[in-house]
Structure 1
Amino acid sequence: MQTILEALYRGQLHPDETIVPSHPEYRRLSQQVVAQTEQWRDRLGDEAFRQLEEYFDLCDRVNSMHVEAAFQHGFKLGANLMIEVSSKREGLLQDTASGLS
């Protein structure tokens, strides 16, 4: 069985491509986005809609950079939390054994 570390090293992990939000409104809102996109395409015509798509692509790139930075920050925070907790482990075991909290 392959470990997560092996998959990461081999470039086989792509969570950004497989994540689907579990929020109950996600599908409904996604369908609304598609429907409104089609309406705007019809209203604007090809050239104006192409320019609007370029604008949306820029917004998506900015948003992706923010999401990536948030992921990195969260991962580092979690790793530091694990380090902090494990470095205090002996103290917690001693406190538990002595009846102190």
Structure 2
Amino acid sequence: MQSILESLYYGDLVPQEQRVSQSPEYRGLNEQITESLNHWKKKLAEEDFNELEALTDLYHQVQGIDMASSFTNGFKLGAALMIEVLSGMNPPVPQQGT
């Protein structure tokens, strides 16, 4: 059995692929987004809808960067917590943006 670090290294553990929310609202909101996009696709000229899609693609890219940052910050906080618990010391808590 591989360790977690080995699984990360070999690409067997990809946190971003396991990010589907377990929130009960998630599926409903996704359906609303799909319905809204279909509505705008019918309502807008093809060129205008393509611009809207490009905008949503940019939004998803920014959202992905935000999610990676949140994951990194959460991991650092968790590691600092484990250091504190296991060592009995109080290491500095990583600040946002570091």
The question of a shared fold, defined as TM-score above 0.5 by the shorter chain, is answered with: yes
For structure 1, list consecutive stretches of 5 or more residues without a partner in the other structure: 90-101
Matches within 5 A, 1:1-101: 1-88=1-88
Greater relative contact order (Cα 8 A, min sep 6): structure 1 or 2? 2
1: CA distance, partners of 2:29 / 2:9: 36
- Offset, 1:19: 2.3
Residues 63-92 of structure 1: CA deviation (Å, up to 9, x unaligned): 111111111011001001100111118xxx
Partners in 1 of 2:79 and 2:60 — Cα distance?
Answer: 28
- For residue 20 of structure 1, what is the amino acid of its counterpart? V
Residue 25 of structure 1 aligns to a residue in which SS?
helix
Which protein has the bigger helix share?
Answer: 1
User: Match of 1:36, as an amino acid?
Assistant: S
Question: How high is the TM-score relative to the length of structure 2?
Answer: 0.83
- Equivalent pairs counted in the alignment come to 89
Residue 56 of structure 1 deviates from its aligned partner by: 0.8
> Structure 2: any 5+ residue segments left out of the alignment?
90-98
Partner deviation per Cα, 1:8-47 (whole Å, 9 max, x = no partner): 1112222212322111111111111111110000001211
Greater than 3 Å deviation, 4+ residue runs: none
